Amino acid sequence: MSAHPIRFGTSGWRAIIADEFTFANVRLAVTAIAEHVCSRSQKRTLIVGHDTRFFSEEFARTAAEVLRAQGVQALLCDGAVPTPAIAHAILRLKTDGAINFTASHNPAEYHGIKFSGPDGAPALPEVTRDIEERIARLAAQPAAALPSNAAGDFQRISPRDAYLARLAELVNFDAVRQAKLKIVCDTLHGCGAGYLDRFLATHGISAVSIRTDRDVLFDGTGPDVLEANLAPLREAVLDRGAQVGLATDGDADRFGILDADGSWFAPNHVLGLLYDYLVETRGWRLPGARSVATTHLLDGVARHYGVTVYQTPVGFKYIGELIKQDKIALGGEESAGLSIRGHVPEKDGILAGLLVAEMVAIRRTPLREQLKTLFSRAGAEYWPLRTNLDLSEEVKARAVQRLQGDFSVFRGRRVTQTDRTDGLKLTFEDGSWLLLRFSGTEPVVRVYTEAGSREAAARLAEEATAWILEATPGARSSAVSGSHTPTARQNQ
């Protein structure tokens, strides 16, 4: 095994192909997962899925062989499958969960494993800790050879039709078709191809799709729904005079949205708009849910409707728990993930895009105009920003210690609330806030800010950066964006 231990972050284990992500390490991780499942279930059936990355099929088949050798039935997907479709298949087939080979939005050199439980949600920390402990124990033992019966065929499943049928129950596609909306879809060479485009075509909705072919290099930019990566979608939206552009990332669990003028629409603002729209059109006068790093626009919407908002640590598994308990109308994260009431407890970028199309069709107004109306309804404007600070391990350790202090004032701003749900979050008198959170996978501190204007959010980010650098010389700031950062590689 690699000298680096296999760790499951907020959404699985990810590593660079042929460095840490090797067949040997895959066998080790899958064996540990199989042991975990066998310790908790008599049925012992797991779905094995994969995305469109390099060697995805080979890794998936290897996993199926390991599972069979461990006495676990493997249901092998018949092609690349979106993460939300796998979550739906878990619930429909009542399996013990799924192993999904995907690195989601990470660059092409990465691969990964997502493990979901029988509830269709990403594994909770107590589950991944058990798996990591089993991996460590197995790594200390001689590698066991697979028995001779490991080779052979596996039962194949196709999750697509049942999943798309469920989306048809959740989305008012008649409204989209009747509005004669022009839509451009961009699947970034990932798993959204054959799903997002097929759904629209099946329901007679006019849409043009781009980047639906497999490209394991993802145009050299990666399958993330960042503004910089969606330049081809912007060009297509403008060329075709479309009302909206819809994008999905590598495993289609994240969404990217472009307005009619080709401008990229921040995921934070999409979450606020969709929460408001669902309460208004579905009558779901229920709380929303957001991670600690996500816009308080959701809180403003909730107040308008006389409800509240649940705040969770970063990681969709926590929002998934609220979806399972039917406590929320919508839950989302600033990193472009959401799900809604009655759906899977997993991020669904395909559903998000379709709901945006429905919202534009019903309201017949560009997203930028809808956002102005929403700010008025919420009683304030909300402009989020995210910055990365790259730190050495030594500098990171000093910064961690400094963040343990008490804060009544920060850079001359009076702190009205301190929150340590996940990192250090400070809320100020004017409603603006700052979150300093260390990545679990990189020597990086993420600086999240939100204020009543872009300029105010940027000033707060600059103040936070200066505060970190004062005590931690040698740190440097990386790119800044309105919702997530182009340099971010590992999950959250």
Total domains present in the chain: 3
Report the C-alpha gap between 261 and 2 in whole angstroms.
48
257 and 275 co-located in one domain: yes
pLDDT digits (tens, 9 = 90+) for 291-335: 999 999 999 999 999 999 999 999 999 999 999 999 999 999 999
On whether residue 487 sits in a domain, the answer given is no
170 and 296 co-located in one domain: yes
On whether residue 471 sits in a domain, the answer given is yes
100 Cβ neighbours under 8 A, 6+ residues apart: 12, 47, 48, 49, 50, 51, 81, 83, 86, 113, 114, 115, 116, 251
**DSSP 8-state code for residue 124:** P
pLDDT value at residue 34: 97
pLDDT digits (tens, 9 = 90+) for 466-489: 888 775 555 555 544 444 433 333
366 and 257 co-located in one domain: yes
291 and 146 co-located in one domain: no
Two structure tokens written together for 61? 């088949």
87 and 128 co-located in one domain: yes
| Residue 431 CB coordination number (10 Å) | 16
pLDDT value at residue 355: 98
212 and 116 co-located in one domain: no
User: Can you tell me which residue has the tokens 């197995």?
Assistant: 138
Domain residues for 81?
13-158
On whether residue 489 sits in a domain, the answer given is no
Report the half-sphere exposure of 403 (CA within 13 A, side-chain side).
25
Give the H/E segment covering residue 407: none
pLDDT digits (tens, 9 = 90+) for 18-63: 999 999 999 999 999 999 999 998 889 999 999 999 999 999 999 9
332 and 416 co-located in one domain: no
Average pLDDT over residues 126-143: 92
CATH of the domain at 85: 3.40.120.10
pLDDT value at residue 389: 87
Average pLDDT over residues 394-402: 77
Average pLDDT over residues 167-175: 96
Report the half-sphere exposure of 74 (CA within 13 A, side-chain side).
28
53 and 193 co-located in one domain: no
280 and 373 co-located in one domain: yes
126 and 28 co-located in one domain: yes
pLDDT value at residue 491: 35
336 and 360 co-located in one domain: yes
For the stretch 403-424, what's the b/e string if a residue is b when 16 or more beta carbons lie within 10 angstroms of its beta carbon? Answer: beeeeeebeebebeeeeebbbb
Kindly state the percentage of the chain with pLDDT values over 70: 92
CATH of the domain at 391: 3.30.310.50
Kindly state the percentage of the chain with pLDDT values over 90: 82
| 315 torsion bin: left (phi>0), alpha (psi -120 to 50), beta (else) | left
167 and 112 co-located in one domain: no
pLDDT digits (tens, 9 = 90+) for 415-440: 999 999 999 999 999 999 999 998 75
Report the C-alpha gap between 93 and 89 in whole angstroms.
6
Band the pLDDT of 152: cuts 50, 70, 90: low
Decide which of 378, 396, 430 is a domain's last residue.
378
Band the pLDDT of 368: cuts 50, 70, 90: very high
On whether residue 314 sits in a domain, the answer given is yes
Assess contact for 298 and 255: CB atoms under 8 A. no
325 Cβ neighbours under 8 A, 6+ residues apart: none
Band the pLDDT of 115: cuts 50, 70, 90: very high
Burial of 203 (0-12, 13-18, 19+ CB in 10 A): middle
On whether residue 43 sits in a domain, the answer given is yes
Is the pLDDT confidence value at 396 over 90?
A: no
What is the reported pTM? Answer: 0.93
